[in-house]
Structure 1
Amino acid sequence: MTTYQAPVGEYKFLAGHVLAKEYEAISGEDASAETLGTVLETLGQFVSERLVPLIASADSAGCLVTNEGVKAPAGYHEVYNDFVTDGWGALHTAIEDGGQGLPLPFGFACDELLSAGSMSFALYASIRLGVYSVLKTIGSPYLQETYLQKIGSGEWNGTMCLTEPQCGTDLSLIRTIATEAEDGTYRLSGTKIFITGGDHDLTPNIVHLVLARIQGAPAGLAGLGLFIVPKFSVAADGALGARNGVTCPRVEEKLGIHASATAELLFEGAQGWIVGAPGAGLMGMFSMMKLARIGTSFQAIGVAEIASQNAIAYALERIQGRDLVGGNKGSIPIADHPNIRREIVRMRTLTSSARMLAFMTSLVNEQSLGPKGADSTKRAQVILPVLMSASKAISSEIGVDVATAAMQTHGGHGYIRDTGIEVLLRDVQILPIYEGTNDVQSLDLILRRLDDGRHQAIDATVDWLRSQIAELPSNESHVEYVKRTLKLLSRIEDVVSVLKEELQRSPFAALQCAREFLWLVGHGVMATLWLRVLFALDSNNLPIDKVAKRAQAQFYFAYLLPETEVRVSRLMAGLEIEQSLRAYPVSLNF
């Protein structure tokens, strides 16, 4: 039986203590750390009571393609309706659009809880918010009036349609064509694949945000436009009309997230409305992808949280093996074996590390939207791409790692369906892939963030981390951990110099080790955040177990941080690694 307890105390600790300075700058009076805790506690009950019981049945049933469209698993329709009716879908949409106006980090924290209950359901609940954001930012008055409130509340859903059979990352290869009609709208024709929530029966309408090539526009990225294409046409009074030339011939048969309708969509003369200026579609889509990319981190954290909770529950009740340390006779709970205890602490520390990294990223994203020209805004805009790439890649890999460790803790019982662990492990595998693969995220750091001609974003990130450490109060008991973190930041600076030289001398050598560099930078952020945790633990009346959190911090610096030296060694050996890679005969002659 899968169990779940929302990490309310963890978020209250982050918002009210560890990241209080950043959180207070964006939260306002109505979004205190206590308010965040209350929201998460209530949503946590919803997840435990309504979503968790559907994990096995929804995974087994999946989505069904019928003549009327795609049907979501049994139980999802009622739960989704209650989710919208109770106001969860409108937490951070604008008050003028019928929302509650809470900060976006609230929504991301809620995404973690929903993803713990079901990644598939969380996708239905969250993907539309990117459409809402794009329309709110650059949508015409007509589009805003027609769609904002419906999408913002969750009454209608939305999708992001980029990928086509012949193109994924390289969007210049898009073939979907948008032809302007006499009435100023467009007619779209083409095929999109891998569309999350592309078709389902949870909402009466689905609003697709489609990237398409404008007929007669220049080749390449400059010829792309962004279009709103509703599943059903919308009359002037808001009533739904006929199907709008968008059909779903199939949903993908996937390793995991079976309950999510990952669809192929055919656009056959579908009517669309352009969003923003012609040729500027890619920039609008990137703003949606930014939110989806940050959200991916929280999906992974949700899986890691519920997987580790259930691994601990199993380890406490599973009696197996003799006491090889204390010498007591008789079998003991496997949680008392040193290697299992290490894995439990490792799972919990990794989950906490990812949560801090992701939540900080969400706060910096808010700062990047601050007053134009302000120093804090400009700095946030420079370092945000670094944090987004690191958070997305590291959190998603931590999600896979923790789910795998949870299965190992369960042993054979984790491999069968009864415990629910195998569902989590299958679901989480998608996260390193979608919203830009982790290899793409790591390449971005080396190709764009070392020096883009205007900013040296990695250097700015390291400077920002140093400033955080400098602001910490003096405490002799934490001096050694401060030294280790500052040493790591210096090592990052050394590696940056090497990578800049290698990019000039041998791009192959620099690019093949991009993943190592991303993790190195990520550890720089996480180590700094763990320092902030240690200093926050000196306060009283905290909402978390101080002993457990201090043990996690100690474990991070003693067990997890040392892996950075291995990554530095690989980065410094880039040219030698290049020689071995080029020498290896990649062929089908095995």
Structure 2
Amino acid sequence: MSNYQAPVGEYQFLASHLLAKEFQACASEEGSAQMLGTVLENLGRFVSERLLPLTDIADRQGCRVTAEGVKTPPGYRAAYEDFVADGWGALHTAVEDGGQGLGWPFGFACDELLSSGSMAFALYVSIRLGVYSVIKSIGCDYLRQTYLEKIGSGEWNASMCLTEPQSGTDLSLIRTTARVNEDGTYQLSGNKIFISGGDHDLTDNIVHLVLARIQGAAAGLSGLGLFIVPKFKAAADGRWSQANGVTCPRIEEKLGIHASATAELLFAGAQGWLVGQPGEGLPGMFAMMKLARIGTAFQAIGVAERAVQQATAYALERVQGRDLCGGRKGALPIAEHPNIRREIVRMRMLTASARMLAFTTTLVYEHSQNREDREASQRARLLLPVLMSTAKAICSEIGVDVTSAAMQTHGGHGYIRDTGIEVLLRDVQILPIYEGTNDVQSLDLVVRRLDDGRQQSVDGTLQWLRGQIAELPAVGEHRAHVPAVEALLGQIADVVQQLQNELKTTPFAALQCAREFLWLVGHGVIATLWLRVLAALDQPGLPIDPAAKRAEAQFYFAYQLPDAGLRVARLKASGAIQAALQSYPLHSR
């Protein structure tokens, strides 16, 4: 297994050069680009020294249900306790809650590094922060005083309880009920499944954020409420030791992330506290899911970064095959073969593309929370739904693609346990599925973001991208690629009109090609960012190798951008594709 190097320079390039304007607009005095580099450098050491040595045993042993609750693999609790003791848990929670207040760009960058070390460990760390955010934004004083500091520091962990056996995407089918008590609290009863970190031994308490139907409330989504339900509640002596009617009868046997306890939870008269007002459950849960979806993108980047580092190291060391180009005698390191070299550069380019897209989305999210500059906040809120869906879907698929390519680079050695690549490939497969499948993200873009009756988020995104291109320097290497990107943005605008018409006349045609449209929009964002990369490489004092980054940009425009043309062709042929799909006899085989 190769050594891991945290991509500190990549993030410093994003924060201080490529996206410096956007980063500085939302950074605090403490949260500088230099500080970001320092944080990631130190966290990189934690990943290398504490997480990577646990990889094999965590995957082999996984979690297990015992009479005392779910047990995580050996070494996990100690690593988590060190993580919290060193202050990493409170890195970007509010200062008034005992945190350091460094903001979400720091937090999501840390998610990447932790996911390179262990996606399962990163899940335990990240999910609680969404619960923290919900309590911080709409929780009452009691909930804030009781939970924020403990969850924010990592002393207590948290989970999001949404899915039920009969209710996945369709939340109107939720059956978990909440009956009000005389003291204003609620009794929750029901069954939740697929709960990441639903039960474990890393912390002494777990605070569940539960979506449930309030008895007596209106039918449908408006009758849902959001509740805080701790695993243990305060006993008469003040200690949080009294069981609260939350049990875990089983955990899922999964393809990957074995060290993450994906739990089934039973709530049997568990005491819960309403977060916000009755009927605000869904907006509160969606606010948390925004963070989870952005976090998914960074998890994928973390796995991809680790995979490409291992594949590159292996390709430089593995000697195999003759020189078919230069005629040199003897075997060569496989990195010198054209097809392997192409795959290494492709993996690097895709990982860098995903990181730029995800970090841009993070900065837009941060701007959307700006209460002082209302105009900037409104612009960001227009862009965020498009960027969030695009980043979640594209980055997760890039994670799978890059990790699969890393396995191919290793050949047969990648298919066996020794290199660790097969563990990464099993782990990364979940990312296109959870926090809203990529198909759901695509449908959201077509059904809700072309025109939701109030605003046209995709049109706003195209205008934003054109504005970035207009701000580029008048001369430079990037200028050669500007016409192609401008033409792409024009094609996206044409497709928007096509889809709007099809939604009115032949909705099947529009909906079956939603993923093609999501990728097309993603190409528009990524291509614009690569233009900015080429322009930024003329700046002095770069924290990266400019030759490597220039080669990645050139490769993107020559090799990857033509994929956008394929997406356009499929979208233009949506009627013919619809005819083929609807004429296919599904039940004949």
TM-score (normalizing by structure 1): 0.99
1:534 aligns with 2:563: no
CA displacement at 1:235 relative to structure 2? 5.0
Q: Distance in 2 between matches of 1:506 and 1:347?
A: 38
Q: What amino acid is the match of 2:404?
A: T
Identity, in percent, stands at: 72
Equivalent residue letter for 1:410 = H
Tell me the distance in 2 between the aligned counterparts of 1:47 and 1:531: 33
The Cα offsets for residues 428-451 of structure 1, whole Å up to 9 and x where unpaired, read as: 000000000000000001000000
Q: Secondary structure at the match of 1:331?
A: coil
Other-structure match for 1:15: 15
Q: Deviation at 1:475?
A: 1.4
Q: Which amino acid aligns with 1:125?
A: V
What is residue 406 of structure 2 aligned with on the other side?
A: 406
Q: In the superposition, relative to structure 1, how do residues 419 and 229 fare at CA in structure 2: closer, same or farther (>3 Å)?
A: same
The one-letter amino acid of 1:417's match is R
Cα drift, residue 278 of structure 1: 0.6
Alignment of 1:436-455 (within 5 A): 436-455=436-455
Does the 8 Å contact 1:2/1:420 carry over to 2? no
Report deviation, 1:3. 2.4
Please name the residue that 1:174 is paired with: 174
1:295 Cα shift?
Answer: 0.3
Match of 2:504 in 1: 504
Q: 1:236 to 1:31 in 2, by over 3 A?
A: farther
Report the CA distance between 1:372 and its aligned residue. Answer: 6.0
Contact 1:13–1:543 at 8 Å: present in 2 too? Answer: yes
Count of aligned pairs between the two proteins: 589
Residue-by-residue CA offset, 1:142-174 (whole Å, 9 max, x unaligned): 111110000000000000000000010000000
Paired letter, 1:500: Q
Indicate if the aligned counterparts of 2:230 and 2:272 stay in contact, CA closer than 8 A. Answer: yes
Give the aligned partner of residue 369 of structure 2.
Answer: 369
Matched with 1:275 is: 275
- Kept in 1, the 8 Å contact 2:63–2:72? The answer is yes
State the partner residue of 1:103.
Answer: 103
Cα RMSD (Å) of the superposition? Answer: 0.9
- Residue 192 of structure 1 is matched in structure 2 by 192
Distance of 1:476 and 1:373 partners within structure 2: 33
Cα pair 1:228 1:273 within 8 Å, conserved: yes
Asked if structure 1 preserves the Cα contact closer than 8 Å seen for 2:235 and 2:242, the reply is: no
Match of 1:355 in 2: 355
Structure 1 contact 146–238 (Cα < 8 Å) conserved: no
Distance 2:534 2:66 in 1: 55
| Unaligned residue ranges in structure 1 (runs of 5+) | none
Corresponding residue number in structure 2 for 1:240: 240
CA distance in 2, matches of 1:258, 1:241: 28
Distance 2:107 2:270 in 1: 32
Query: What is residue 264 of structure 1 aligned with on the other side?
Result: 264
Alignment of 1:69-88 (within 5 A): 69-88=69-88
Contact 1:229-1:272 at 8 Å conserved across structures: yes
Q: Any conservation in 2 of the 1:3–1:306 contact (CA below 8 Å)?
A: no
Secondary structure, aligned partner of 2:202:
coil
8 Å CA contact 1:3, 1:52 repeated in 2: no
Cα distance in 2 for residues equivalent to 1:527 and 1:375: 26
Structure 2 residue matching 1:271: 3-state secondary structure: strand
Q: Give the match for residue 332 of structure 1.
A: 332
Is 1:474 equivalent to 2:474 in the alignment? yes
1:236 CA drift (Å) = 8.4
CA contact under 8 A between 2:217 and 2:223: conserved in structure 1? yes
Q: Is 1:147 aligned to 2:141, yes or no?
A: no
Kindly indicate whether the alpha-carbon contact (under 8 Å) linking 1:71 and 1:201 is maintained by their aligned counterparts in 2. yes
DSSP-derived class of the 2:452 partner: coil
Q: Which residue of 2 aligns with 1:321?
A: 321
SS at the partner of 1:269? strand
CA contact (8 A) 1:248 1:266 kept: yes
Per the TM alignment, residue 2 of structure 1 is displaced from its structure 2 partner at its CA by 4.0
Separation (CA, whole Å) in 1 of partners of 2:250 and 2:336 = 49
Secondary structure of 1:319 counterpart: coil
Over residues 275-302 of structure 1, what are the superposed CA-to-partner deviations in whole Å (9 max), with x where a residue is unaligned? 0101110010011111001000000000
**Structure 1 Cα separation of the partners of residues 238 and 457 of structure 2:** 46
Secondary structure of the structure 2 residue equivalent to 1:270: strand
In 1, the alpha carbon distance for the partners of 2:473 and 2:376 equals 22
Q: Does the Cα contact within 8 Å between 1:415 and 1:421 map onto a contact in 2? A: yes
Q: Is the 8 A contact 1:301 1:399 kept in 2?
A: yes
Query: Could you report, residue by residue, the CA deviation over 1:192-213 in whole angstroms, capped at 9, with x for unpaired residues?
Result: 0000000000000000000000
| Matching residue of 1:29 | 29
Q: 1:31 aligns to what SS in structure 2?
A: coil
Deviation at 1:238, TM superposition (A): 5.6
C-alpha distance in structure 1 between counterparts of 2:537 and 2:472, whole Å: 13
Over residues 380-436 of structure 1, what are the superposed CA-to-partner deviations in whole Å (9 max), with x where a residue is unaligned? 001100000000000000000000000000000000000000000000000000000
The offset of 1:374, in angstroms, is 2.6
2:305 is aligned to 305
Task: Confirm or deny: 8 A CA contact 2:115 2:121 kept in the other structure.
Answer: yes
Q: What is the distance in 1 between the residues matched to 2:226 and 2:157? A: 17
Name the SS for the 1:35 alignment partner.
helix
CA distance in 2, matches of 1:402, 1:536: 26
C-alpha separation in 2, matches of 1:121 and 1:2: 20
Deviation of residue 478 (structure 1)?
Answer: 2.2
Relative to the length of structure 2, the TM-score reads 0.99
Within 5 Å, which residues of 2 pair with 1:36-47?
Answer: 36-47=36-47
2-side partners of 1:288 and 1:468: how far apart? 29
Q: Distance in 1 between matches of 2:70 and 2:159?
A: 15
Alignment-mate amino acid for residue 369 of structure 1:
Q
